[in-house]
Structure 1
Amino acid sequence: METASLSITKPIPPKKTRPNKNPKTKSRGSKLNAWLHLWLGLSSGIIVFIVSLTGVIFVFCDDIIDIISYKAWYVPDIKEQRLSPEELITHFKEQFPERTPFSYIHYRDPERTVKIASETENREFQFSWMDPYTGKILDSNQAYDFFYVIAHIHSGHIPFGAIGNLIVEIAVWLFFIELITGLILWWPKKWNKTTRKQSFTIKTGSSFKRLNYDLHNVPGFYSLIPALLITITGLIIVNKPLQKSTHHIFDGTPAAFRKIRELAPEYDKTKKWTSIQPIITDLFKKNASAEQVKMSIPEKDSATTYMAIAAKNIGLKGLHDGKVYLINRYDGNAIPIPNKLLNGLSIDNTNMNLHIGFWYGWWGKCLTFLVGLVCTCLPITGFIIWYGRRKKNKKTNA
């Protein structure tokens, strides 16, 4: 009889397995970045939307003002002699006694009309185009007043008053952080064909949710650098410490335009004013590339200077290829301006041109306009993303 042999074997211990890490688990830094992007966007979204929208409207302000009255750009007939600027101002006051002219633009082209800016006691602004040979006003429009209101909404002065600038400044600082955190959120963890396609293209024909998500991310990435430029230049305008630091770096003086007026000579009632036309002629000679000369019209008889600008193009805010002068009304000569003040003017002008798209003609304006549209839409598309996820979470919890 055979006996069965029994073999005793030791039990095999179970293999130690490490817990599987969820690849979708975010780090603390990623969570903090996403939290900042969400709540800073929600808290500043309405202000950013208004500031961006008014900025978009303002980009083509000069072109819109001129196009409305394009028929009055040129005179019907060129005569042998023009009326003097003093005579033109007198004719303007006769035709618009309720308005006070405060500046006018004289063009190098003899066929161009003179463009006069004026206001009422209630600060309603308008531009008028006058025939320099007859003194007749060919056209006027109040688009100037419309863009004046838009600019004050953009700065927060309307409707918040004196505290409006601070409200807008805080919102712009938050938007600056939004742009940085948005780039971090957009940045793919892995670069491959799929992630490149998702990050750089908008998936057309997809669901509304996916389309809105792409419209938030893809245009936001492409407009990041110019949007940062517009944001930073805007902060330099409204933030005094940042403005002062910028002028310090480039050896300029903040608020140079206001400080230049302090160089004006004292009023002397025994002296007479010199004629304006020789001043304009001289400025055109000094600036060969200038197509326009803008002269201020002093509000008071005791004002002893003119502010003059000779430039290729002069806008409501922007100035292209130009120079600012302080002219002595007694002798018609330019008052010497210290280099620090001139640098300050140049810094402010360059910063403003970069902010409003005046830096490269139509191309600069078009780029600024498109970037402004993207910045206007970002709060909307971002809110829709947040609202959709919030609604989905409520359904899941239920």
Structure 2
Amino acid sequence: MTMEKTIGLKEKKRTARSRPSWLRRFNDWFHLWIGIAAGIPVIIICLTGCLLVFEPEITAMSRSWWNVEIPAGGQPLPPSALREKVVAQLPGMQIRRLWYYGEGKAVKITPDNSNSLLFANPYTGKLLAMQDHEDVFHFIEEGHTNLWLPREIGHQVVSWVTAVFLILTITGIVLWWPKKWNAREMKQALTIQWKAKFKRVNYDLHNVLGFYSLLIALIMTLTGLIMGFQFVNKTVMQMLGAKPRSKEISAIQPGPEAVPATIEGRVDMIFKLVTTEMGEYNRDQISIHFPKDDAKSIYACTDMHHGSWRELNFDRNTLALLSSSQTKVAEDTPAGWMRRSNYALHVGAIGGTLTKWVYFFASFICATLPVTGFIVWFGKQRKKPSRK
């Protein structure tokens, strides 16, 4: 074999070794082009998510009447008395659903025959405010869940964009992964060189911040998929050991011996029972409904803590606790815990204010990734020499 042939063979082998595998090339292609295609929806979903993280706090701060004076004794009116006083101020208003937000906070009332929300003083029944149900946060939520498209279309689009973002997150980690785990490579992978030129700083903002937001991004994405796709929800619950729910509803805890004759008296009794005995967390916070005429149960919601809650259903006639109710938090199964905590995990309420701030910054970083990623790609395009 001649010297020229030997050198040519070595060059071919070196070129073959240096060329990325088809899997790596596909990873890079997907991260770039699918990332660009999904960029605008991702930005909208993440930015609206930032705002929704602190929706309760911002809403409360914007309502000058939200905090009310606690009178001597400090006991709120039971649902029937509160409803009676509000209807006296707004004749003809059909009220079934009341939400007590706790000591010193207004009660939210959702009428059946109005698009407005009513807010009343829980101790006096005085009407404090009447607001349109579709406020600014309703608009933001529509963008987050439907991209302001019709729900049938928008919900599907958001769900599939969420699935794509999950894959983009995984392909991004492949691109971030250091070739060598030495001090120099790790420093470049984990720190932003603020004193470098714009292109380098932008690259680090995309690469480094993307890595630091990875865990929260995965949690937000996976919990979003559980809400977006029924088959994902079912699969996750089965993996956690969920058993098929029985269609037959039975009593799992007997009701009181003496049951009031009127539905108003029964709702008031459930209100007292839940707020004094059954509730485990924030007992003074409860959502309770007067049942419709054809309903067989009375609904109440308690244990509202860090974005989670416990739903209870009581037999309309006997007030027995029904099997369609959720179990106590401490006694729940992994699948049951996931059902009640998925929303809290999605919005960052699971750990209170601290996790909310973590989610806020992580969501904001995710919103910047399509922008910084596009700038990285555009910079590389400008570097390429023109072909003559």
TM-score when normalising by structure 2: 0.82
Q: Which residue of 1 aligns with 2:79?
A: 85
* C-alpha displacement of 1:90: 2.7
> Structure 1 residue 297 and structure 2 residue 289: aligned?
yes
Cα RMSD between the aligned structures?
3.4
Q: Which residue of 2 aligns with 1:169?
A: 159
Q: 1:361 aligns with which of 327, 352, 359?
A: 352
* C-alpha displacement of 1:202: 0.6
Give aligned pairs, total: 368
| Distance change (3 Å), C-alpha of 1:175 and 1:155 | same
| Distance change (3 Å), C-alpha of 1:133 and 1:241 | closer
Q: Which residue of 2 aligns with 1:26?
A: 20
SS at match of 1:307: strand
Alignment deviations for residues 338-362 of structure 1 (CA, whole Å, 9 cap, x no partner): 789x866543222111111121111
- What pairs with 1:224-235 in structure 2 (closer than 5 Å)? 224-235=214-225
For the pair shown, which has the larger CA radius of gyration, 1 or 2?
A: 1
> Structure 1 residue 191 and structure 2 residue 181: aligned?
yes
Q: Which residue of 1 aligns with 2:42?
A: 48
| Paired amino acid for 2:268 | Q
SS at match of 1:72: coil
Task: Name structure 2 gaps, 5 residues minimum.
Answer: 252-260
| Distance change (3 Å), C-alpha of 1:231 and 1:163 | same
SS at match of 2:148: helix
* C-alpha displacement of 1:89: 1.5
Q: How far apart are the structure 2 equivalents of 1:113 and 1:13?
A: 89
Q: Which residue of 2 aligns with 1:326?
A: 313
* C-alpha displacement of 1:195: 1.6
SS at match of 1:159: coil
Alignment deviations for residues 221-254 of structure 1 (CA, whole Å, 9 cap, x no partner): 1111221111111111111111111122234368
Q: How far apart are the structure 2 equivalents of 1:338 and 1:79?
A: 32
CA contact (8 A) 2:274 2:283 kept: no
| Distance change (3 Å), C-alpha of 1:16 and 1:245 | closer
- What pairs with 1:1-398 in structure 2 (closer than 5 Å)? 16-17=6-7, 18-19=10-11, 21=14, 25-69=19-63, 71-75=65-69, 77-78=71-72, 83-96=77-90, 101-106=95-100, 109=103, 112-118=104-110, 123-124=115-116, 126=117, 128=119, 130-139=120-129, 145-156=135-146, 158-252=148-242, 272-273=262-263, 274-284=265-275, 285-298=277-290, 300-313=292-305, 318-319=307-308, 322-337=309-324, 346-393=337-384, 396-397=386-387
SS at match of 2:352: helix
List, as ranges, runs of 4+ consecutive aligned residues in structure 1 with deviation greater than 6 Å. 12-15, 259-264
* C-alpha displacement of 1:371: 1.0
Q: Which residue of 2 aligns with 1:6?
A: none
SS at match of 1:133: coil
Q: How far apart are the structure 2 equivalents of 1:223 and 1:282?
A: 44
| Paired amino acid for 1:324 | E
TM-score when normalising by structure 1: 0.80
Q: How far apart are the structure 2 equivalents of 1:293 and 1:57?
A: 24
Alignment deviations for residues 229-280 of structure 1 (CA, whole Å, 9 cap, x no partner): 11111111111111111122234368x7xx999779xxxxxx7313433212
Q: How far apart are the structure 1 equivalents of 2:174 and 2:280?
A: 49
Alignment deviations for residues 61-111 of structure 1 (CA, whole Å, 9 cap, x no partner): 1112222236532325336875432121133234456865453233664xx
Q: How far apart are the structure 2 equivalents of 1:81 and 1:234?
A: 39
Alignment deviations for residues 192-241 of structure 1 (CA, whole Å, 9 cap, x no partner): 33222211111112222111111100010111122111111111111111
| Distance change (3 Å), C-alpha of 1:117 and 1:84 | closer
